[in-house]
Amino acid sequence: MLKLTLDAIEIIDAIDRGGSFAAAAEALHKVPSTISYTVAKLEEQLGFQLFVRRGPRVTLTPVGRELLREGRWLLRSAADLESRLRRIATGYESELRLVHDSLLPAAALVEDIRAFEALDCGTRLRISTEVMTGSWEALREGRADLILAVGDPPSGFAQQAKRLQDIEFIFCVAPQHPLARIDRPLTPEDLRAHTAIVVADSARLLPTRSIGLHAGQSRITVSNIEAKIALQIAGLGYGFLPRCRIDAALTQRQLVARDVAEVRANEPLWLAWNLEGEGEAQKWWRARLQAPGALGRP
């Protein structure tokens, strides 16, 4: 009997992406003890370690890295086969993977998800977030069927894409932050005296982006826009934030907008997809997200 199963490879992949057994359990909707048991049992059966444990954080051993390199190819192949078979039978994919930039609130998709679920077509939705170039990378690497990405496509991007709208950014600080008391456009010199809150680009293979930072700038780097907003509301730093995420915080005076000498231009929101093997579910989502009124567009 084969010791390696697709379920085991999927667990190893989730641990590597999340960096811990707990993160993998959350991503796969399993209890942490199931993740730990599966890995321990597999290591026992194979006769070698797949992970190096350092407290809650784990990293792949060289043999684990090789297993996962080939294993990810097997996962993609199995998913493609399942989708092809289901498309042949019904026209609808078994699963649709939608990745959106973390700047776009999940609430913007609620009505679209509700309408899709009402179709009762049998396609499972898998919705996840990436940051900046990470969304484009997910599509290029076959981890997404279609994406909502903020910022222009990276060089050499070969998939289909349509520009939807612009995302407006506002420079914000908490009312108690020292920069809130300066009654003029803030200069780079003003900003260098304080800490910036930045979100790390989630791309692993493509060149990453950084926006609005100056040389030698003090910064706190977080992994998502929710953490950035929380730290800025707490007065721990400054930065540009998307208006679609902070209207309530501005109204409630948790954040205040300030003029800056170097403004951040609006960024385009793109819908992008790969036409290879497209089924009815992806066609539905492409049409839906490009229609007037989607995502709050006029």
Could you tell me which of 278, 85, 44, 174 has the C-alpha nearest to residue 36?
A: 44
Residues 130 and 246 in one domain: no
For residue 64, list its beta bridge partners. Answer: none
Q: Which amino acid is at 99?
A: V
Does residue 1 lie in a domain region?
Answer: no
Q: Are strands 95-101 and 146-150 parallel, antiparallel or unpaired?
A: parallel
Residues 129 and 173 in one domain: no
Distance CA 100, CA 271 (A): 9
Residues 21 and 43 in one domain: yes
pLDDT category, 82, cuts 50, 70, 90? confident
Domain that holds residue 27: 6-69
Domain count, the chain: 3
Residues 178 and 160 in one domain: no
Residues 11 and 33 in one domain: yes
- For residue 193, what is the domain's CATH number? 3.40.190.290
Query: Could you read off the pLDDT of 91-131 as tens digits, one per residue?
Result: 888 889 999 999 998 889 999 999 999 998 888 899 999 99
- For residue 34, what is the domain's CATH number? 1.10.10.10
Distance CA 92, CA 252 (A): 45
Q: Are strands 196-199 and 124-130 parallel, antiparallel or unpaired?
A: unpaired
Residues 62 and 119 in one domain: no
Query: Could you read off the pLDDT of 187-233 as tens digits, one per residue?
Result: 999 999 999 999 988 877 766 666 656 666 799 999 899 999 999 99
pTM for the whole structure: 0.69
> What is the 3-state composition of the chain as percent helix, strand, coil, each rounded to the nearest 5?
45, 20, 35
Distance CA 79, CA 152 (A): 29
**Start-to-end CA span in the chain (Å):** 57
Residues 239 and 127 in one domain: no
Residues 261 and 182 in one domain: yes
